[in-house]
Structure 1
Amino acid sequence: MFSRRILSVARSSKVLSHQNAVRSMLSTRSKFHTSARLLEAETVKVPQMAESISEGTLKQWQKKVGDFVELDEEVATIETDKIDVSVNATTAGKIVELLANEDDTVTVGQDLFKIEPGAQGESKPAEKPTEEPKAQKQPEEKKKDDAEPKDQQVDKGTGKPPGPPPPEVEARPADQRKTEKSGATSKKDQPEPKAKEQSVRTAPGARTETRVKMNRMRMRIAERLKESQNNAASLTTFNEIDMSSLMAFRSKYKEEVLKREGVKFGFMSAFAKACTLALKEIPAANASIEAAADGKGQEIVYRDYVDLSVAVATPKGLVTPVVRNAESLSMIGVEREIAALGAKARDGKLTLEDMAGGTFTISNGGVFGSLYGTPIINLPQAAVLGMHAIKDKPVVVDGQIVVRPIMVVALTYDHRLLDGREAVTFLVRVKEYIEDPRKMLLAE
């Protein structure tokens, strides 16, 4: 009877140990599945870009499959007809799949790439045998063990350990060294293939063509310029401005401004200030024609503020970021805003908000050496001022012929909004303010 009880207790303990083993196994599997779920790849979609933009062209992948990215790190760039949109990583992890190719048209909400969340260096649970690191270590240990007896050997004649082995090159047979030397010489004497290719490319009489796909921004610029030519009644008036006074003013204070404000004191700020003052006198140059609120006919919208569009040349085309409320800014304030917008334009970081709106445009083609030009109106604006290069010219001052630095300025205006008298008056006011900058302090 006693032996039967002992046997029963032994059997029950075996059952309990088996149950505990099963529970431990299930717990391990649960943990494994939890970690696998954490490493499941997430799909990143094309983000919302703007109300008026629903698609774009995948310009470039900044990362490739297998690259690790941090949270909010740029992965791809999408080109639209207005700006470049960056697509950033939604989490830190590894790129596991790219779902679109460069130059493909992608739409908002489309799957773009997959990312596997996790810290750098993390990976899925290894399935290889645990003995593998040990097996990799064995050849190194064996190599080390084989090397030890050699280091401990001694010369029978001297009783001292031998010196370091001779260099590998010296240990080779003489004929082998001779062959390598002759081979190196023959390789050196061979003509470089790059030079041969260059001679083919630069052959006289070559007639080559290169076709490049027109990017979305250039297509949009072309569309807008053609729309302006078709819709606006454009007319251009010219005038000459003596830049002597403004150049002396700038030369006297530019170092002080750069040291105190950290911005360069250029001519653009003076023209911007002169234009904002002239626009107060000629409000039609700051107006636009828009559809009536009731949908019947058209209305002229006059504004008591000036959002100044400044034309900036970029590798992709001309863009016009906006200096908001330019009428309330000083010359230094305008320079600071223009410098910030110019830097963003060159780096491709302009946003839609930076370019939206604008009531009047200034374009400075003089920085590229332009002497004359007729700028095109940026619809729905009414006018655009074109600045050009400064050149020394003989002019008559008080009956005497003198040499003065002269800039030719052009105002292209929409004749539907401005009459010739208003347009010419506007340009004359700008001329007066630039030729004597002190007058800008007297203007209200």
Structure 2
Amino acid sequence: MLSQRIIAVARSRGVLRPKHLQDASKLMMRTRMAQFHSSRLLQAETVKVPQMAESISEGTLKTWSKQVGDSVAADEEVATIETDKIDVSVNAPTSGTIVKLLANEEDTVTVGQDLFVLEPGEVSKSSEPAPEPEKEEQKPSETPSEPKKQDSSEPSDQQTDKKLPPPPKPSGSDKKADSKPKEDKPSKKDEDKPKKKEDKSSPAAAAPKPPAGSRNETRVKMNRMRLRIAERLKQSQNAAASLTTFNEIDMSALVNMRKKYKDSVQKEHDVKLGFMSFFAKACTLALKEIPAANASIEGEEIVYRDYVDLSVAVATPKGLVTPVVRNAESMGLVDIEKEVAFLGKKARDGKLSLEDMAGGTFTISNGGVFGSLYGTPIINLPQSAVLGMHTIKDRPVVVDGQIVIRPIMVVALTYDHRLLDGREAVTFLVKVKEYLEDPAKMLLAV
């Protein structure tokens, strides 16, 4: 460096004395530190709220996955923003260290707003040794050999009882504990155990149970997704001329077919064979015959479609979402089942994108998984119809003049009377019933 050469020359000529040399070295150190800090400031990058969708301009910052001082890898999640449709993950554009957070949790943030400051740099591989201490922490709880032997012969419910015997061991030394200044008044074993249970449930213990006849109220702010769902459902009721028609389906053939092939399908394709794929296939065939059920109103025009983008209602902790199976009319039963399972998992994990939910043309909602017997589903605008599945119940029915017990499912079709007349809606539901009661007819498309 030039400054070092100058100091060296000056020192050789005797121009710099020890005191001057110390001052010069201090000046050099300050210059280096200033350069270092200025380079850090220049390298720091301010990450903004990303563009989420054309119709979404703001959201609620729900959680920070990282805090100031934490290291992040490229594309690692730093924050989650909740919108009225999906949860958007904000990832680090490059590896580095979080320098500053520019918003708090539960704040409303807009697209393009500064969110956090990231100082680029290499990240030490701290994620690899992290699992090791977790394993070491789990080992002490499993080291006693006696509980392990008992687990094989006793039900798992008794594991909670196995954790209780350790307290009696120190109870034998209660005499020594009595001599110590810290004396526990309840020295009995039975009194020790409830104490430990209270310690484990300290958060619950902090909130006392309300007395009988209590009239307390709890107010919880609606999340953005729930607000959006409420808005769309009310909009559907106000805009569509909704009407519901019902029918009963004898599920005997489908139940037997599923029992026969579910194990082989699971083994061959690694997917569970359910009833949703059969209903989806039956609906795609019926929609070809009743195209109005697959249409929508746009202004003063009716849009008919040759394809079927099937919306499948999935319940999540935040509300009901409807991911879309694209071109369901060209898919087989196994392919539909795989896609439904894939989208369902993404929905429950909160990983659905806007593309996963946009553009459905017909909806199937299965309330039967929760035990629903009857129901009138609400149309998912701008679609014209929605099919509601319900639980299967054994019922006495008349077949060929004989009373027999058959597994029966009640299905409901809610349709927009502006597009579908009653004749078309009933015909559609009858077609679905015929396909499901005779799966061979459905697979042959006759």
Query: Normalization by structure 1: what TM-score?
Result: 0.78
- Choose from 312, 315, 318 the match for 2:317: 315
In structure 2, what is the Cα distance between the partners aligned to 1:390 and 1:406? 5
Q: CA deviation at 1:91?
A: 2.7
Please state how far the C-alpha of 1:45 moved relative to its aligned partner: 1.1
In the alignment, does 2:407 pair up with 1:410? no
Task: State how far apart, in whole Å, the 1-side matches of 2:314 and 2:333 are.
Answer: 19
Q: Does 1:426 align with 2:428?
A: yes
Find the counterpart in structure 2 of residue 39 from structure 1: 40
The corresponding residue for 2:118 is 115
1:211 deviates by 1.1
Matches within 5 A, 1:254-265: 254-265=262-273
- Tell me if structure 2 keeps the 8 A contact 1:57–1:106: yes
Gaps of at least 5 residues in structure 1 are 1-8, 123-176, 292-297
| Equivalent position of 1:49 in the other structure | 52
Q: Give the alignment of 1:32-431 within 5 angstroms.
A: 32-40=33-41, 41-120=44-123, 181=180, 183-186=182-185, 192=195, 197=205, 200-291=208-299, 298-431=300-433
Provide the residue aligned with 2:173 in structure 1: none
Paired AA for residue 239 in structure 2:
N
User: In the aligned structure 1, how far is the partner of 2:31 from the partner of 2:121?
Assistant: 19
3-state secondary structure, aligned to 1:357: coil
Look up the equivalent residue of 1:411 and give its one-letter code: L
Q: String of CA shifts for 1:330-369, please: whole Å, max 9, x gaps.
A: 0000001000000000000000000000000000000000
Larger Rg: 1
1:373–1:182 CA distance, 2 compared to 1 (3 A): same
> 1:283/1:22 Cα in 2 relative to 1: closer, same or farther (>3 Å)?
same
- Structure-2 separation of matches of 1:350 and 1:279: 27
Instruction: For 2:278 and 2:11, locate their aligned partners in 1 and report how far apart those are by CA, in whole Å.
Output: 100
Contact preservation (8 Å) 1:287, 1:303: yes
Distance 2:249 2:10 in 1: 111
AA paired with 2:385? A
The superposition leaves residues 216-264 of structure 1 with CA deviations (integer Å, 9 ceiling, x where unpaired) of 1001101100111001010100000000001101110000000000000
For residue 281 of structure 1, report the CA deviation from its aligned partner: 0.3
2:230 alignment partner, SS class: helix
In the superposition, relative to structure 1, how do residues 10 and 261 fare at CA in structure 2: closer, same or farther (>3 Å)?
closer
Secondary structure of the residue aligned to 1:200 is coil
In structure 2, what is the Cα distance between the partners aligned to 1:178 and 1:222?
61
Percentage of identical aligned residues: 72
* TM-align CA RMSD: 3.0
Question: Residues 239 and 94 (structure 1 numbering): CA distance in 2 closer, same or farther, change over 3 Å?
Answer: same
Shift of 1:103: 1.2
Per-residue deviation, residues 164-198 of structure 1 (Å, max 9, x unmatched): xxxxxxxxxxxxx7775352333757995768947
Find the aligned partners of 1:94 and 1:217 in 2 and give their Cα distance: 32
**Larger deviation: 281-290 or 191-200?**
191-200
2:308 counterpart SS class? coil
Q: Distance in 2 between matches of 1:178 and 1:46?
A: 58
CA shift, 1:99, in A, is: 1.5
Contact 1:273 1:327 in 2 (8 A): yes
Contact 2:177 2:183 in 1 (8 A): no
Deviations 1:76-100 (A, max 9, x none): 1100000000111223233232221
What is the one-letter code of the residue matched to 1:185? Answer: D
Residues of 2 paired with 1:349 and 1:11: CA distance?
67
Mapped to 2, the partners of 1:23 and 1:86 lie a distance apart of 51
In the alignment, the residues of structure 1 paired with residue 415 and residue 59 of structure 2 have an alpha-carbon distance, to the nearest angstrom, of 33
Aligned 8 A contact 1:39 1:118 in 2 = no
Q: Secondary structure at the match of 1:204?
A: coil
C-alpha separation in 2, matches of 1:10 and 1:23 = 11
TM-score (normalizing by structure 2): 0.78
Whether contact under 8 Å (1:278, 1:429) holds in the other structure is yes
C-alpha distance in structure 2 between counterparts of 1:330 and 1:199, whole Å: 53
Against the structure 1 CA distance between its residues 246 and 77, is the aligned structure 2 distance closer, same or farther, given a 3 Å change threshold?
same
With 201-210 and 13-22 compared, the bigger mean Cα shift is at 13-22
2:260 and 2:10 mapped to 1: Cα distance? 104
Asked if the contact 1:38–1:117 (Cα under 8 Å) also holds between the matched residues in 2, the reply is no
Say how many residue pairs are matched: 377
For residues 387-443 of structure 1, what are the alpha-carbon distances to aligned partners after superposition, in whole Å with 9 as ceiling and x for unaligned? Answer: 000000000000000000000000000011011111001000000000010001322
Letter in 2 for 1:74: E
CA contact (8 A) 1:241 1:406 kept: yes
The CA distance in 2 between the partners of 1:252 and 1:91, in whole Å, is 52
Amino acid at match of 1:181: K
8 A contact 1:320–1:355 mirrored in 2: yes
For structure 2, the 5+ residue unaligned runs are 1-8, 126-175
Q: CA deviation at 1:35?
A: 3.1
Please give the alpha-carbon distance, in whole angstroms, between the structure 2 residues aligned to 1:271 and 1:235: 21
Whole-angstrom CA distance in 1 between matches of 2:319 and 2:30: 58
